[in-house]
Chains A and B, each alone.
Chain A
Amino acid sequence: MADSVTADPAAPSATRPTGDPLLVLSGVNKHFGSLHVLRDIDLTVHRGEVVVVIGPSGSGKSTLCRTINRLETIDSGTITIDGEPIPAEGRALARLRADVGMVFQSFNLFAHKTVLENVTLGQVKAKKVKPAQARTTAMELLERVGVANQAEKYPAQLSGGQQQRVAIARALAMKPKALLFDEPTSALDPEMINEVLDVMVGLARDGMTMVVVTHEMGFARRAAQRVVFMDAGQVVEEADPETFFTAPRSERARDFLSKILTH
């Protein structure tokens, strides 16, 4: 681990926490069979902070993202959300998941429901919001992400970029404390990436706490306070975006950046 340079949390230049700790992972370990996918992960995300997680494929970044709302269980360590440890399977977990929205690489909109229904379902079922109120909220959110005119269509009738923006609206409808993005633009055609990133930058400006697994360096520079670089299940380096992209300290980060920056 000679090249593992983890940022000193007190370092003034590296991180500028915007609020109190909201998501706290400490000593998190996970195995897939014999594969050690997360190794002693310590990560604190503060309220209002945008953290970009970057790293080679198979580095564990998606898994890390998915453990935060317990779509993946962990073998050891703790994860707390706003001071509350993540509960085991059950109603308490369902409540907590509503507090941490998730946006998936493959959108995962409910295929049998209209765009509007996709955004009202969670409000009505999980938060017991009255259907009329849920529709109003949903339309406001669809307006905000720019797809209000598609409200009555089915997901399959929308472009990938539109679907992903609906997915963001669906997550926002639960009024989450934080949003997790698992490679939100990796499945999109190039011309649709910006419309999704624009929405995400807007959210960041509005103070949403976000953990974003992405390789979009432009987004990291525009919106993130911190970049977390992962490799082989470890957090290898943490830095502010400018520092990370221009002067990465670890050999592994330099190697990775040289590969994605070649073209």
Chain B
Amino acid sequence: MDPSVIADNMPAFLAGFRLSLQLTLVAGAGALVVGALVAMLRVSPLGSLRAFGAVYTELLRNTPLTLVFFFTVYVLPQFTPFRFFGYAAAVLALTLYTSAFVAEAVRSGINSVGVGQAEAARAIGLTFGQTLTSVVLPQAVRSVIPPLINVIIALAKNTSVAAGFAVVELMATGRRLAQGNPGESIMVLVGVALFYLVITIPAGQLAGALERRVAFAR
């Protein structure tokens, strides 16, 4: 058990870390946008939009992430002109999968805002979109942030699935280093764990800071 194996392979660790962080940030941003849109579909006055949103969420939320990866890498090219490999495939799969959880978090936040708020907004002539963006969503933000941060933390860890699909992120880096240094595989894995914590612990801290910022008098 010699910690120097981490220091000796720092460039490899950092490259893997950077890729994991990048996957988290890019797929996280995409999932927030897509998830918020799906959540809006799910509270829409149109039944067909609500149904689409529900099917989308339930399909992606209830299938293993690995399966979503398989679909984007192997199935999608057979039925569409799109071909995704490696990093692009990982971003797509992680975005789709995570967006379903974002949608659920945002939807529950929307539902946490009293129905009277939306009724009052509609009663002064705001459209459905204006009601959501001016009245409901600003109040939903407070209750959405904690579950949303959980979703992002899960995403940071889920990026490790990309290791199985030719993306040399943190997990794949760890596996290679462990194979190259069979005597120090435990220390290598400890190093991998530490780098994940560098992403996930600040995310939790950020949640607390954001919660305090969006708090307002009621």
Contacts and interface: CB of A to CB of B under 8 A. Distances in A.
B217 A97 contact: no
Contacts of A125: 126, 130, 134
B130 A154 contact: no
A241 interface: no
A156 B217 contact: yes
Interface residues of B, number: 22
A102 B126 contact: no
Given A71-B119, A104-B119, A94 B218 contact: no
A75 B217 CA distance: 41
| Chain B interface mostly | helix
B202 interface: no
B5 to A, nearest CB: 52
The residue among B117, B125, B218 with the most chain A CB atoms within 10 A of its own CB is B125
Interface in A92-106: 94-99, 101-102, 104, 106
Given A89-B45, A156-B217, A157-B217, A112 B139 contact: yes
A112 B138 contact: yes
Interface in B112-132: 114, 116-117, 119-128, 130
Interface size class of A (residues with CB under 8 A): 20 to 34
A89 to B, nearest CB: 5
Interface string B199-218: 00000000000000000111
B130 to A, nearest CB: 5
A112 B216 contact: yes
Contacts of A95: 125
A126 interface: yes
B116 A104 contact: yes
A110 B217 CA distance: 12
